[in-house]
Amino acid sequence: MARRPDSLEALRKGGKAALARALSAVETDAADPGLDVLLDAACAAPGGRVLGLTGPPGVGKSTLTNALIRHYRTRGESVGVIAVDPSSQLTGGALLGDRTRLVTDPEDDRVFVRSMAARDRLGGLSDHAVAAIVLMRAVMDRVIVESVGVGQSEGDVAHVSDVLALCIQPGSGDSLQFMKAGVMELPDLVVVTKADMGGLAARARADVAGALSLARPPDARTLPEVIAVSATSGEGLDEMTTACDALFASLERDGGLAALRARQAHHHVADAIRVRFGRVGAGLVDMDAALAREGGPFSAVSALDRDLRARLGAQADQP
């Protein structure tokens, strides 16, 4: 079996085959120290823009992802997709529901779709998924992260996205449910799917706009734009992608993108250590120092993991 690429240059030159090997290594050989080096190199060179899609099951995220793939490919941009699926309770693997709904040309070497299991993460993103996003971000122009769609536990995708779009379905009452769950504080953009439903879609758009005005923090500078999109007819798709590009450009223009990526790296370290060792273990280490010393979040997690296991001994397996 071919080895995973040993450098970012090899990953970029190797195309889909190299990316597939790297993603397989993420899932099967996470203890490989060379993998940490590759992931940190990818983290330091994030060329692509990451769009997160979140929302409840059945809202149409996969259909929208298909439409976005076609849209970006017509513009000549490469597209990577991480479709996070519910996990099998027996094997822990992805059930592949989202992956099978995505239709791509296997001969197109500028589209790559990977389905990954949510595992035991209610928020929807395992450590493996975060690593996969980092790798795709380094080699693709666009990365779409389609969350598991568990409804009220959708916060993880906000920590890996440059722009987060919350998808809401007409006639579902989602906006009120999300107000209660606090999800309305997260998105940069709200997409009302199935805009071809006419009056129901218009009503949902108005309801969401009202919910946002009530649910956003008082110090929020602006409210997210609410756009009605039909992935089947194409209605609103150009408006959505234009809005996403404007948000990306705003981040890049004022230095916010570098700051956002730095916060994402810190969150990954903090979250990984907290999951493995609990809040007590996380309180025993200096994560900022580890990030600075190790040169990247993935090496920092591994170093802190070794340190805490040595210090805590048998307790290290008790979160």
The string of pLDDT tens digits covering residues 103-135 is 677 788 999 999 887 655 544 577 788 999 999
Domain boundaries, the chain: 45-254, 258-313
Q: What are the phi and psi torsion angles at 142 (to 5°)?
A: -130, 140
What is the C-alpha to C-alpha distance for residues 138 and 10, in angstroms, rounded to an integer?
Answer: 12
- Radius of gyration of the chain from its Cα atoms, rounded to whole angstroms: 20
pLDDT of the residue at 312: 85
pLDDT of the residue at 210: 79
pTM above 0.85, yes or no: yes
To 10 degrees, the CA torsion angle through 244, 247, 249, 252? -130
pLDDT of the residue at 214: 74
Structure tokens at 316: 């290290």
Is the separation of the CB atoms in 149 and 55 below 8 Å?
Answer: yes
∠ CA(148), CA(154), CA(158), 5° rounding? 105
Pairing state of beta strands 163-168 and 142-146?
Answer: unpaired
pLDDT of the residue at 176: 60
Is the separation of the CB atoms in 261 and 46 below 8 Å?
Answer: yes
In CATH, the number for domain 45-254 is 3.40.50.300
Q: What are the phi and psi torsion angles at 51 (to 5°)?
A: -110, 120
- Which residues pair with residue 51 across a beta bridge? 144, 163
The string of pLDDT tens digits covering residues 229-257 is 999 999 999 999 999 999 999 998 878 89
Task: Kindly report the average pLDDT of the chain as a whole number.
Answer: 84
| Residues of the chain scoring pLDDT < 70 | 1-2, 85-101, 103, 118-124, 148-155, 172-182, 215-221, 314-319
What is the C-alpha to C-alpha distance for residues 169 and 57, in angstroms, rounded to an integer?
Answer: 10
